[in-house]
């Protein structure tokens, strides 16, 4: 199934809800609105056999957060991207559809503060338990001051 055929089928099937662009061989980027996420992913999984989720990347674009779901099939690499406003970053969870997605959803929750509704277990993950609430490290406005390195012993 070459890229062109897949684009045609996707266009036919999902039509208005997605914009497709194909920057390179075997690379497809599908842009969809946030509410359409779960129906589109279900459709992809049932009709197009897209079952393998590589990872979910979060991006801080200033006014909005962008979330990219990197799916892959034996022939192509589909990347579904949605945007959520910065004030109310909420997105639906796709773990019921693809069990392996729980990891990555918890990461964007931790790192960007995006609330994933319906996540089976939303406990904090990577950050230490005493991490101050409301601090999301991968946001562009989060800065850390690098401590000055003090080398013990001897003249500096």
Partner 1 sequence: MSFNIPIGPQHPALKEPISLRMTIEGEVITDADIRLGYNHRGIEKLAEERNWIQNIYLMERICGICSHSHATCYVQAVERLMEIAPPKRGMYIRYLVSELERIHSHLLWLGVAGHEAGFDSFFMYVWRDREIVMDLLEMVSGNRVHYAINTVGGVRRDLDETQKARILDGIATLRKRSEYYLHIGANEPSFVARIAGVGLLPKEQAVALCAVGPTARASGWDRDVRKEDPYAVYDELEWQVATADTCDVLGRVVVRIKELLESYNMIEQMIKKLPAGDIAVRAPRKAKPGETVSRYEAPRGENIHYIKANGTEKPERLKVRAPTLGNYAATVFMLKKGFVADIPLIFAAIDPCICCAERVVTLVDGRSGASSLVSLSDLRRRALDRPANALVKGKAEWPF
Partner 2 sequence: MRIAAFLPELLRHLFKKPATVDYPFKKIALPEDFRGTPYLQPELCIVCKACERDCPAEAIEITAVGEPAEKRFKMVIHNDRCIHCAQCVDVCPTTPKAMQMDSLFELAADDRHKLKKDWVYVRAVIKPKAAAPAAPAAPVAEPKA
Residues near partner 1 (CB under 8 A): 23-24, 26-27, 51-55, 57-60, 68, 70, 72, 74-75, 77, 79, 98-104, 106-107, 110, 120-121, 123, 125-128, 137-138, 144
CB of 71 to partner 2, least distance (A): 33
Phi-psi label, residue 113: left if phi above 0, alpha if psi -120 to 50, beta otherwise: left
Residue 35 or 120: the one with the smaller Cβ distance to partner 1 is 120
Number of H helices, E strands in the chain: 3, 7
Beta bridge partners of 21: 29
CA distances from 136 to 27, 62, 131, 140 (A): 30, 14, 10, 9
State the binding partner of 27 from partner 1, partner 2, none, CB within 5 to 8 A by kind: partner 1
CB of 154 to partner 1, least distance (A): 27
CB of 35 to partner 1, least distance (A): 24
Host H or E run for residue 109: helix 102-112
Q: Map the footprint of partner 2 across residues 88-127, applying CB under 8 A.
A: none
State the binding partner of 155 from partner 2, partner 1, none, CB within 5 to 8 A by kind: partner 2
Per-residue binding string, partner 2, 126-155, x by CB under 8 A, is -------------------------xxxxx
CA distances from 145 to 100, 136, 142 (A): 35, 15, 10
CB 38 within 8 A of CB 101: no
């Amino acid at each position: 199934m070459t890229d062109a055929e897949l684009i045609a089928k996707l266009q036919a099937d999902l039509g208005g809800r997605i914009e497709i662009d194909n920057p390179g061989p075997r690379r497809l980027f599908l842009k969809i609105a946030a509410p359409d996420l779960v129906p589109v992913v279900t459709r992809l999984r049932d009709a197009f056999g897209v079952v393998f989720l590589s990872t979910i990347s979060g991006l801080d674009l200033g006014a909005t957060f962008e979330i990219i779901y990197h799916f892959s099939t034996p022939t192509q690499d589909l990347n579904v991207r949605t945007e959520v406003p910065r004030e109310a970053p909420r997105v639906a969870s796709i773990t019921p559809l693809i069990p392996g997605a729980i990891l990555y959803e918890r990461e964007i929750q931790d790192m960007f503060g995006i609330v994933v509704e319906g996540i089976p277990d939303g406990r904090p993950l990577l950050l230490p338990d005493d991490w101050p609430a409301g601090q999301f490290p991968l946001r562009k406005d989060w800065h850390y001051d690098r401590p000055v390195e003090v080398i013990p012993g001897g003249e500096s």
